[in-house]
Amino acid sequence: MPFFSSQLDGLRLRNSYQVIIVGQHGGDTYIIYNFHEVTWYSGGGNSGGNIHTGQGGQPAMAGFTDGLGSSFELPYSGTNDVIRIDDESNVGMAGRYVFRVNGASIVEPDSPTSPILTCPSSPAPVLNCGSGEFIPATVAWSDPTTVTCLPLTSPISCTPSSPHTFTATTTVSCSASNAVGEGTCTFDVLVNQDTTAPTIICTEDITTQSNNPLGTQVAYSPPMSEDECGVYTSCDLPSNSLFPCGENTVTCTSMDNVGNQNSCSFKITVNCQQLQLTNCPSNIDVVDSMPYGEAVNWDPPTASGHTSLTSNYEPGHVFFGGTFDVVYIATDAAGNELQCTFTITVESDVYGPVSSLCRKYILDTTSKTWNESDTSCQSSGGNLARIVGRKTNNFLITSIQDQGMNPSDIWFGAHRVESSWLYPDDSPVCYSNWASGEDQDGDTCAQLWAQPSGKWTSEDCSLTKRSICELA
């Protein structure tokens, strides 16, 4: 800049300088003066200086004020030697003056210092997920801030340099140098082993119905799982498994790549319909008045929770005289069974009274084998007698007694062919009045045995007995 009232040659005279103010929030402020060239120290006018040389008058002041009445002057301020200010320095560099201001305090350094470096804060830690996986894989940072009174002779550098891939906790060292020396700062990049378990949230409890006593298949939504290091989730009872009846607890586990794990559980309740067999019919008594048997009907029992319902007889079955156990069996998918049993008793009235059917019975009092007796009956135009009902059985017993004879040990027409009891005309023995176990003892021909109650017994066919013939 020129001086005041300069004329002619004085117009070419210039003082060149620079003022730099460096401030930190909440910290010190640095004021830096850089004087490049000083050629005058006094102006014309009131200063009384030479208007051609800028000298000889009142010397100029050099320094600064805090604006509150306090001031600080540079060396030679207000003297003729102020023109030498560009050759001097308080930091060892010609023309440069540095001051640190802290509130109302102005501190002039005793001597130049090395650069002052302030490193960035440590970045967020790197997460070691194991198996060579690190999150984040690469870390970057900004250069440190630098305060220096002298030009840097080596730029700011950090080891390792940014950006860098870290696999272990590392101290980053940064430095910069000026003519006085080196300034440094450090910060740490932490690499932490993952020790945090995954987060996992299971689905809500489930309740369902099933008609299958083994349970039912149930599908459910997989748990929600998260983890920075990746996660694998499995459940001890997978979705779409067969869940048995009742309450089932499903436990799901999430594991990350390091091995940290977390679990949750929920319940699946399967309400099953249990096997039931109800409304079993009561015992039934009927009279068979037809020569071809009697059709008997009933309402089958009611079954639920079953896969099959079987019986040995169906409604409408034709029964001949005798007593029959009807058995229903309900079975579920697990093989469980329930039974319902009732009795049908058929009293045959086909031949009673005997005289109404023009039947004729002859008692042969000559003892013969069963085969001889049947041959004798055939020669008379008949066969050994058939006993087709309780009335016929009682009629024969009573008739024999009425003749003054003992109705015991008398052959009649029943005989066993392989496993079946038949009459001589090969018709089946439907009505029976066996004494206990007599139809199963191995003998093959039947006899009337009057006591007790006209029961039947089986005997060896080669024995000789009286017999009773039936003639048409």
Q: What average pLDDT does the structure give for the chain?
A: 84
Residue 170 in contact with residue 263, Cβ under 8 Å? no
Of 54, 52, 19, 50, nearest to 38 by C-alpha is: 54
Q: How confident is the model at residue 424 (pLDDT cuts 50, 70, 90)?
A: very high
Ranked by mean pLDDT, which of 43-52, 183-192, 273-282 comes out on top? 183-192
Residue 371 in contact with residue 383, Cβ under 8 Å? no
Q: Is the pLDDT of residue 185 over 50?
A: yes
Q: How far apart are CA 161 and CA 182, in angstroms?
A: 18
Of 193, 194, 202, 249, nearest to 225 by C-alpha is: 202
Q: How confident is the model at residue 422 (pLDDT cuts 50, 70, 90)?
A: very high
Q: Is the pLDDT of residue 410 over 60?
A: yes
For residues 415-428, average pLDDT: 90
Q: How confident is the model at residue 314 (pLDDT cuts 50, 70, 90)?
A: very high
215: left (phi over 0), alpha (psi -120 to 50) or beta: left
Considering only residues 65 and 209, tell me which one the structure prediction assigns the higher pLDDT: 209
Q: How far apart are CA 225 and CA 406, in angstroms?
A: 96
Considering only residues 281 and 58, tell me which one the structure prediction assigns the higher pLDDT: 281
Q: Is the pLDDT of residue 8 over 90?
A: no
* % residues pLDDT > 90 (the chain): 38
The per-residue pLDDT for range 140-156, each reduced to its tens digit, is: 999 998 887 677 889 99
354-471 topology per CATH: Mannose-Binding Protein A; Chain A (3.10.100)
Q: How confident is the model at residue 198 (pLDDT cuts 50, 70, 90)?
A: very high
The per-residue pLDDT for range 255-266, each reduced to its tens digit, is: 998 899 999 999
If you classify domain 276-348 with CATH, what class do you get?
A: mainly beta
Q: What is the pLDDT of residue 348?
A: 60
Q: What is the pLDDT of residue 353?
A: 37
Q: Is the pLDDT of residue 29 over 90?
A: no
Q: What is the pLDDT of residue 4?
A: 65
Q: What is the pLDDT of residue 289?
A: 59
Residue 343 in contact with residue 323, Cβ under 8 Å? yes
116-193 topology per CATH: Immunoglobulin-like (2.60.40)
Scanning the structure block, which residue is given the tokens 């997978």? Answer: 238
Q: What is the pLDDT of residue 250?
A: 97
Q: What is the pLDDT of residue 352?
A: 38
3-state secondary structure the chain: CCCCCCCHHHHHCCCEEEEEEEECCCCCEEEEEEEEECCCCCCCHHHCCCCCCCCCCCCCCCEEECCCCCEEECCCCCCHHHHHCCCCCCCCCCCEEEEEEECCEEECCCCCCCCEEECCCCCCCEEEEECCEEECCEECCCCCEEECCCCEEEEEEEECCCCEECCCCEEEEEEEEECCCEEEEEEEECEEECCCCCEEECCCCEEEEECCCCCEEECCCCCEEECCCCEEEEECCCCCEEECCEEEEEEEEEEECCCCEEEEEEEEEEEECCCEEECCCCCEEEEECCCCCEEECCCCCEEECCCEEEECCCCCEEECCEEEEEEEEEECCCCCEEEEEEEEEEEECCCCCHHHHCCEEEEEEEEECHHHHHHHHHHCCEEECCCCCHHHHHHHHHHHHHCCCCCCCEEEEEEEECCEEECCCCCECCCCCECCCHHHCCCCEEEEECCCCCEEEEECCCCCEEEEEEEC
Q: Is the pLDDT of residue 290 over 60?
A: no
Q: What is the pLDDT of residue 362?
A: 86
* % residues pLDDT > 70 (the chain): 86
Residue 173 in contact with residue 184, Cβ under 8 Å? yes
Cα–Cα distances in Å, from 260 out to 87, 192, 437, 447? 70, 14, 76, 89
The per-residue pLDDT for range 93-102, each reduced to its tens digit, is: 788 877 777 6
Q: What is the pLDDT of residue 392?
A: 82
Q: What is the pLDDT of residue 354?
A: 37
Q: Is the pLDDT of residue 451 over 80?
A: no
Ranked by mean pLDDT, which of 231-240, 318-327, 427-436 comes out on top? 231-240
Q: What is the pLDDT of residue 452?
A: 54
Sign of CA dihedral 62, 66, 72, 78: positive
For residue 426 the two structure tokens come to 């090969």
| Range(s) within the chain of domains with CATH label 2.60.40.10 | 199-272
| Range(s) within the chain of domains with CATH label 3.10.100.10 | 354-471
The per-residue pLDDT for range 347-384, each reduced to its tens digit, is: 765 443 333 345 788 888 889 999 999 999 999 889 99
**Which homologous superfamily is 199-272 in?**
Immunoglobulins (2.60.40.10)
